[in-house]
Amino acid sequence: MTHSGLLACHECDLLQREVALPPGGKAICPRCKATLYTQSNNSIDRALALMLAAAVLFAIGNAFPVVTMEIQGRRTAALVWEGAWRLHEEGETVVGILVFLTALIFPLLQIAGMLAILVPLRLGLTPRYLVPAYRTIEEVKPWSMVEVFMLGVLVSLVKLAHMATVVPGIGMWAFFGLIIALAWASSTLNPHEVWARLEVGEPEPAQ
């Protein structure tokens, strides 16, 4: 038995009625001031466009070096997976796996997963995999750390600047674009709307 229209604050459990918001509006819990949900026009269309951009930028960011360094005529450039592999080769496998997951695999899952959900929704389809897929993405999200990784790249650049010539590569600009696209997409998309659409297509989820 479900009660649509009812909403429990995820931070203080206060039960309240879901109300329609004007575009750009934001519902805030009266008791603990948590943001409950937001409303934006064409949220699924916009999120889809931003996620497509994110996919392209992610591909560029991982195909081209983020930074290139030159010491006395010798050049090195680094991609994310190469850095992770180097850590593994030096015996710091745990750290290597950690950065590999948080800077590469989880962002990839987040982008690919969102596309796999938004494209069918846009086409009006609701295949059965959408519900578990969306659940997985919501769990992965806090571990996808592209923006922290980029700040790390900037700090490294400053640290290296005195001993070598460091040049930001195409990959870095792609990553900056990626951060903006991901942040924008997640602020645009209202998860309540996605869940509501999934519910229409699938009244009886498997469990």
Look at phi and psi of residue 199 and say left if phi exceeds 0, alpha if psi is from -120 to 50, else beta: alpha
CB-wise, 60 or 98, nearer to other proteins? 98
Within positions 16 to 35, which residues make up the interface with other proteins, using CB under 8 A? 31-34
Q: Is 83 in the site for other proteins (CB under 8 A)?
A: yes
- Using CB under 8 A, pick the residue from 19, 26, 119, 195 that binds other proteins: 195
Within positions 87 to 106, which residues make up the interface with other proteins, using CB under 8 A? 87, 90, 92, 94-96, 98-99, 102-103
Q: Residue 126, exposed/middle/buried by CB under 10 A (0-12, 13-18, 19+)?
A: middle
Which tokens hold the place of 200?
A: 């229409």
d(CA 40, CA 23) in angstroms, rounded, equals 5
For the bound state, the minimum distance from the C-beta of residue 5 to other proteins, rounded and expressed in Å, comes to 9
Within positions 119 to 178, which residues make up the interface with other proteins, using CB under 8 A? 131-132, 134-135, 138-139, 142-143, 145, 148-149, 151-153, 155-156, 158-160, 162-164, 166
Phi, psi at 7, each rounded to 5°: -145, 130
Contacts of residue 176, Cβ cutoff 8 Å, sequence gap at least 6: 150
CB-wise, 49 or 160, nearer to other proteins? 160
For the bound state, the minimum distance from the C-beta of residue 112 to other proteins, rounded and expressed in Å, comes to 19
Which tokens hold the place of 46?
A: 């916009």
